[in-house]
Amino acid sequence: MTSVDGKQAAVSLSGECDLAAREECTAVLMAAVDAAPQVVVDLGGLTFLDSSGVHALVTAYRAAIERGGQLSVVNAGGMVAHVLDITGVGGLLQPQDGAGDG
């Protein structure tokens, strides 16, 4: 689910973000990056994340940065938070300058 409010887009991911869902996940994230300069991705409903999901997040993050924006993640828990931490992506995608406050 994606919602846009002014300069911020909020994306809520749920279920599994793996190879089978990679294209859909990437498309949703890129649409949010195109819609607003600040993108906050809520991972609270995500139960599984593999390298394909990490790739989708990093791809969207890079696209946001190239456009002068920012993409961050919030509410990562359990295995999802662990994957973000061990890959180093968790630190990269932390909210900056109040992103996620809203």
Mean pLDDT by 10 residues, the chain (102 residues): 84 95 96 96 97 96 97 96 95 72 43
Question: How confident is the model at residue 97, as a pLDDT?
Answer: 59
Question: How confident is the model at residue 102, as a pLDDT?
Answer: 42
Closest CA to 58 of 72, 46, 69: 72
Question: How confident is the model at residue 17, as a pLDDT?
Answer: 94
Q: Are 9 and 40 in contact (CB under 8 A)?
A: yes
Closest CA to 68 of 1, 7, 6, 3: 7
In DSSP terms, which residues pair with 73 in a beta bridge? 41
How distant is the alpha carbon of residue 97 from its chain centre?
16
Question: How confident is the model at residue 1, as a pLDDT?
Answer: 65
Question: How confident is the model at residue 101, as a pLDDT?
Answer: 44
Q: Are 21 and 45 in contact (CB under 8 A)?
A: no
